[in-house]
A and B are shown apart, each in its own frame.
Chain A
Amino acid sequence: MLRKSVEESIQSLIVELKDKVELMVDLAYSALILNDRDIANEVLEMEEYVDWLLLQYEDAVLSLAFRKAEINKLQIIGLLRFGKSLEEIADSAAKMAETILRGLHTHRILAKVAEEGEEFISVFKIGAKSPLANKTIKSTEIEKKFDVHIIAIRRGNQWIFNPQEDFILRPGDVLIIRGFTEALDDLKEISK
């Protein structure tokens, strides 16, 4: 019974690590494309969070290893290295985003590199006077109107992924939205 719960927490940690790392890579590109300090800061903060996640994960993997004498050691090594590699990808994403915070300007070249997809990801902070504040995602109609997708919301230290339609937006919430550039300017305006 107990063993099962350790395995389950390892599973959830892998899911969270991988989803987070992939989001970080997308956000790092976005930071470079948009030359955006907010996103760059977000990536750097997430990198610290990934470090913390990795520690929880390694802890859980070792609990699993010590629980049974006949455990396959190579599989445990495999799990540990898998986590470490994900963390290295997160580090690289952070390294990419870091240049923005050093005040180095990115160049048209980088925007063109990502132009092909035409899709962008950006960060919006809901201001106290924003028309979006204190409304459910559904009633703001931003997803429908602007054809965008809210990937994640950060409230305090908590991340909410793929928020439900009835999620109520609050001032101070940080929204990560994927969409087309035209819509992003309008979104920046109404989220203020």
Chain B
Amino acid sequence: MLEKLKLKEVEYKALSARSILRQMKDLVSLMLDLAYFAFLTNDQTLTDLVLKVEEEINTLNYFLMMNTMLAVRDKDDAEVGAVIINMGNALSSMANAAADIAQLSKMKIAPHSVLKKALERTEETVKSCEISRESLLVNKRLEDLEKLKIYADVIAVKRETVWILNPPPNFKLKAGDIVVCRGNKDSIDYFYRVCRYAKEKR
């Protein structure tokens, strides 16, 4: 049985449409990547987190609608408002679709092997790797990765049993961390080599 998600009560808060939309857009892109990954790895904790993010996006969408409605004064505003509300709704629907993918693992549906193979062949892929003791990345902050010519984007880290989504730039990696990142094949491959080894020539 699926656990019932508790819905957050929404009360008007003054926020700018711009900041709400930016948050929604970032969360949707995070969710999409994590949803594929959660389904493939059958990770229940991560699935729960993806569903929480969906709930956050839906909550933000209410704030977006309320704030947009209050900002409308004339018919020109109304036209812009319609575009903004439409965008919020579209982002919400994307979040919904991503949640549906993540939720498959909750229904005891295991991913078929063709899906696993296919998702390794897409232009952008999401993969996870454990940071070894010998890794060059131990004690490195995420913001330092660029200097190491690592352009893959770290979207989540699992430290012991806790998942950290969208870790901040000053987040310091430790041995044993499981790092999930997204990028094109080359940058991901390189990332995984440095996760394991101390020195790596590119």
Q: Does A99 contact B (CB under 8 A)?
A: yes
Question: B86–A95 contact, CB under 8 A?
Answer: yes
Taking a contact as CB atoms closer than 8 A, the residue among A19, A22, A95 that contacts B90 in the complex is A95
Taking a contact as CB atoms closer than 8 A, the residue among A14, A29, A109 that contacts B118 in the complex is A14
Take A92-B91, A96-B86, A110-B87 as given contacts and tell me if A85 and B122 are in contact as well, using a CB distance cutoff of 8 Å: no
Q: Which of B25, B84, B90 has the most CB of A within 10 A?
A: B90
Residues of B in contact with A, size category: 35 or more
Question: A18–B122 contact, CB under 8 A?
Answer: yes
Question: A18–B119 contact, CB under 8 A?
Answer: yes
Q: Does A89 contact B (CB under 8 A)?
A: yes
B80 to chain A minimum Cβ distance, whole angstroms, is 4
Question: A75–B21 contact, CB under 8 A?
Answer: no
A residues near B104, Cβ cutoff 8 Å: 78, 81-82
> Bound state CA distance, A116 and B25, in angstroms?
12
Which of A45-53, A100-108, A168-176, A184-192 forms part of the interface with chain B? A100-108
Q: Does A74 contact B (CB under 8 A)?
A: yes
Q: Does B124 contact A (CB under 8 A)?
A: yes
Q: Does B22 contact A (CB under 8 A)?
A: yes
Taking a contact as CB atoms closer than 8 A, the residue among B21, B82, B96, B109 that contacts A109 in the complex is B21
CB contact list, A45-100 vs B, under 8 A: 72, 74-79, 81-82, 84-86, 88-89, 91-93, 95-96, 98-99
Q: Does B8 contact A (CB under 8 A)?
A: no
> Bound state CA distance, A99 and B80, in angstroms?
10
Q: Does B187 contact A (CB under 8 A)?
A: no
Chain B interface main SS type = helix
> Bound state CA distance, A162 and B83, in angstroms?
32
Q: Does B79 contact A (CB under 8 A)?
A: yes
Question: B97–A88 contact, CB under 8 A?
Answer: yes
> Bound state CA distance, A86 and B96, in angstroms?
11
Q: Does B37 contact A (CB under 8 A)?
A: no
Q: Hey, which bits of chain B sit against chain A, CB under 8 A?
A: 17-18, 21-22, 25, 32, 39, 79-80, 82-84, 86-87, 89-91, 93-94, 96-98, 100-101, 104, 107-112, 114-115, 117-119, 121-124
- Can you identify 24 A-B contacts, CB atoms within 8 angstroms? A7-B114, A10-B114, A11-B117, A14-B114, A14-B115, A18-B119, A72-B110, A78-B110, A78-B112, A81-B100, A85-B97, A88-B97, A89-B94, A91-B93, A92-B91, A93-B90, A95-B86, A95-B89, A99-B86, A104-B82, A105-B79, A107-B80, A107-B84, A109-B80
